[in-house]
Amino acid sequence: MTSAPRLPQPGGGPGHDAAMAGMFGRIAGWYDFLNRLLSLGIDQHWRRVLARAACPGEGLALDLAAGTLDVSLALRREAPDALVAAMDFCPPMLAHGRRKLRGANARHILPVAADARRLPLRAASATCITMAFGIRNIAPRAAAFAEMLRVLRPGGRACILEFGSGRERIWGGLYNLYLDHVLPLVGRAISRDGAYGYLADSIRAFPTAAELEEEMRAAGFVRVWHKKLTSGIVCLHVGETAA
């Protein structure tokens, strides 16, 4: 009898990286479909807000936790002349994203398997950084923030999209009920994997928006702020490097 696939523990722990990569690799084929279903399609709007906030120009835009490349494509729509380095630690996710690349997008979006804590880029090479629903899965977060600061140009901007903490009552507690019951049940029923149970657990354990803002400020970002989207179900976090 085969054992159940190992799930990562929210916040890290032994074997966290391997378990995380395995989990996302298993659900890569269902990832886009479940994102649309579980968010009622609002996730696409959230990603567009993220891409606009990044203010990509003509230089190199870095999309971390790029997954199936939805944010990379949104960055290209915002800045058609930009070159997007789409980096993710899970190659199966990037492989599914590559199927979306056509024409100019195939030439201007470069999928690369990479760890956000050890980026294969020279210092001060990126004009902006985006990360959608990825910072929650990185341990320690401080290592990822340090790499963002290293590769961003002076005055560059890092924009992070993440779920609101499950420690906050949103919509009178309906959000918490959704996390506890609907999300893991629907996710498992469709993907046949416990990954969406991990997702709910990691959201519940995640810092509040104000706490994450303080983490970014402590890491060395300046002009740090956040904006709540859809009543705080998702938050956009922005930090800039010193000019």
> Tokens standing for 205?
């354990």
DSSP code, position 3: P
Q: Which of 162, 156, 150, 133 is nearest to 237 (CA)?
A: 162
Helix residue ranges per DSSP H, the chain: 16-27, 31-39, 42-54, 70-78, 91-98, 103-108, 141-151, 174-177, 183-191, 195-205, 209-219
Q: For residue 70, tell me if it sits in a domain.
A: yes
Q: For residue 8, tell me if it sits in a domain.
A: no
Q: For residue 165, tell me if it sits in a domain.
A: yes
Q: Look at residue 166 and tell me whether its pLDDT is greater than 70.
A: no
Q: For residue 1, tell me if it sits in a domain.
A: no
Q: For residue 204, tell me if it sits in a domain.
A: yes
190-224 pLDDT per residue, tens: 767 777 777 778 888 889 999 999 999 999 999 99
Q: For residue 6, tell me if it sits in a domain.
A: no
Which residues form the domain of 59?
16-240
Return d(Cα 32, Cα 28) in angstroms, integer: 8
Is residue 83 a contact partner of residue 108, using CB atoms and an 8 Å limit? yes
Q: How many domains does the chain have?
A: 1
pTM given for the model? 0.90
pLDDT at 7: 67
DSSP 128-184: EEEEES-GGG-SSHHHHHHHHHHHEEEEEEEEEEEEPPTTS--GGGHHHHIIIIIHH
> Tokens standing for 167?
């420690």
120-161 pLDDT per residue, tens: 999 999 999 999 999 999 999 999 999 999 999 999 999 999
Write the CA distances from 189 to 185, 197, 204, integer angstroms.
Answer: 6, 11, 21
Q: For residue 3, tell me if it sits in a domain.
A: no
